[in-house]
Chain A
Amino acid sequence: MAPVEPRVQAATTPGGVILEARNLVKHYGHVTALDGVDFELRSGEILAVVGDNGAGKSSLIKALTGAIVPDSGDILLDGQPIHFKGPLDARKLGIETVYQDLAVAAALDIASNLFLGRERRRPGFLGDVLRMLDKKGMRAEAERSMAELKFHLPSIGSAVESLSGGQRQGVAVARAALFAKKLAIMDEPTAALGVRETGQVLDLIRAIRQRGLPVVLISHNMPNVFEIADRIHIMRLGRRAAVVSPKTHTMADVVAIMTGAAKFEEAASPQAG
């Protein structure tokens, strides 16, 4: 169980804590979905959240994106306690979420999808009175951010349905990157994709980290997690069983902690947590 080559450094990007949750509890009737879970996302990192089905992954993420309100516990953004009433609150505070099922309007073009729900209007009379869209400005901004993410697409004016599945999900990921001020949460973004397309999306997530935006990645796919994550948050029975580094732990270690076959104390090096 012990790592082959323990490293001194726990994570590649030790930074300040951006998003923190303390002792979150959520009951659904007699079912306890979250049993006092803690969570911590640091600046500039990709934090993977893994766990078996029913371990509380989804409930944790829903609490962090405002989709559910926990029964008790605190959520802190940049050290400030926050209370979400709904997903829009989270978005207003700069937390963007990417969902598994390609949340794009396929018949609309790429630029329209990037700005969907956040369209910009032209300045002056045309925008204020006639409510006219600034199509050129949005297109230019979309092209700029796509270039910055090194995400190569056909014309920004082509319909999303003309893209491959990976490129479509890329549009959803890029949308999060474009608008997330604090962090982006990706809920199984590659679950519906093939191997090559998954690679495209993972590249994009790395590019987002490079821009300094921390990312929470929920995934079932261990090889992907080990390929991309800086730290791995392991859920078990509604709690955080451990946070480990992919550099100090193997996939077998993580699976063992996930399933309860190993306790964190046995498997971890102290620096990792």
Chain B
Amino acid sequence: MNSASALSFGRTSRIAAKFVGTPSVGPLLVLLAFGVIFSLTNPRFLATQNLSIILQQTVIIGTLAIGQTLIILTAGIDLAVGAICVLGTILAGKLANSGYDPVAAMVLAVLACSAAGVAAGSLISGLRLPPFIVTLGILGIITAALRLISAGGAFSVTDEFLGWTGNTVRLNGFIVTYGVIIMLLLYGMVWFLLNQTQWGRHVYAVGNNPEAARLVGIPVGRLLLSVYVLAAFIYGIAAWLALGRIPNADPNALQTANLDSITAVVIGGTSLFGGRGGLIGTLIGALIVGVLRNGLTLAGIDPLWQDLITGILVIVAVALDQLTRGRR
């Protein structure tokens, strides 16, 4: 990273220095290590079909984790991730099933999700309430409301458009769903926003030192609001992807989405204290969780162990972040 020292060394070490200085290298090594272990223990693991399944299994959490990353970067946390996404699936499903145009139904559902983001963001930026409490409250409100709307039960959503994201395409013999492509496109777009625009710079600055951000004239409240709205919009898109994976709208679905999305973000190297980390790490973190679950399932290991190992990984990731923070 240091240009002076980089000049005195060769090109290879400059690349090496850049590599080590990139925060997502640690998670990437973990991902590769799991990949090697699972492919040695089970030859089926590396089959293209299995890799494609891992990607498909990662779609919902992977997409939700984009929004969660944005919010954690501002030193917040979102506990309403799953609830907002389920709000999207239920609304889109209900509207489409009762005869509305499916495209309009999906658009309305995404808007409703974004409105939940407006509510969360306004309370957090306007009244300066802690994100933890606000999103916990929204989680409760949405969950209760959804159970009332859907009378407690799940219902099937068979509309072709709402299920479209589950269709597959073949890319060089690799089969992916449109949902996977949409997720990767979202990663690309939000990565661009975070790394190449003023808005992204300000997200990091606000998460890192909100007082300094305010003093240099960054409209901190407006920025926080925009982050919560964009995140909720992405949860709305995730609802569409979820309907593509399972043609079913269930008010009790995605109950572990909060923890899973936070896990992906934290394992990916983004600091819970805000201002550090990024989306590439989150994508890798989501893949780590996907690979772990898939590999352990292939090995015939009880799913309880998957939760246990994921739990250990989260704690290790947070501990590493805490320790490196201590050095700064």
How distant is B305 from chain A, measured CB to nearest CB, in Å? 36
B199 contacts the other chain (CB 8 A)? yes
How far, in angstroms, from A133 to B198 measured CA to CA in the complex?
6
Q: Which A residues from 134 to 191 make CB contacts under 8 A with B?
A: 154-155, 157-158, 161, 175
* Interchain CB contact under 8 A, A161 and B328: yes
Q: Which B residues from 210 to 256 make CB contacts under 8 A with A?
A: 211-213, 215-218
Q: Which of A99, A106, A158, A175 contacts B208 (CB 8 A)?
A: A106
Contact bitstring A74-94, B, C-beta under 8 A = 1, else 0: 000000000000011001000
Given A107-B275, A161-B328, A121 and B213 contact (CB-CB distance below 8 Å): no
Given A116-B218, A132-B196, A155 and B1 contact (CB-CB distance below 8 Å): yes
A1 contacts the other chain (CB 8 A)? no
Q: Which of A103, A131, A154, A157 contacts B211 (CB 8 A)?
A: A103
A-B pairs, 4 with minimum CB distance: A117-B216, A105-B208, A103-B212, A119-B198
Size bracket of the A interface? 20 to 34
* Interchain CB contact under 8 A, B208 and A131: no
How distant is A119 from chain B, measured CB to nearest CB, in Å? 4
A104 contacts the other chain (CB 8 A)? yes
Size bracket of the B interface? 20 to 34
How distant is A153 from chain B, measured CB to nearest CB, in Å? 10
How distant is A191 from chain B, measured CB to nearest CB, in Å? 16
Residues of B within 8 A of A (CB): 1-4, 192, 196-199, 201-202, 204-205, 208-209, 211-213, 215-218, 275-276, 328
How far, in angstroms, from A130 to B4 measured CA to CA in the complex?
32
Instruction: Note all chain B residues with C-beta closer than 8 A to A87.
Output: 215, 217
A219 contacts the other chain (CB 8 A)? no
* Interchain CB contact under 8 A, A116 and B2: no
* Interchain CB contact under 8 A, A158 and B2: yes
Instruction: Note all chain B residues with C-beta closer than 8 A to A119.
Output: 198, 201
Contact bitstring A17-29, B, C-beta under 8 A = 1, else 0: 0000000000000
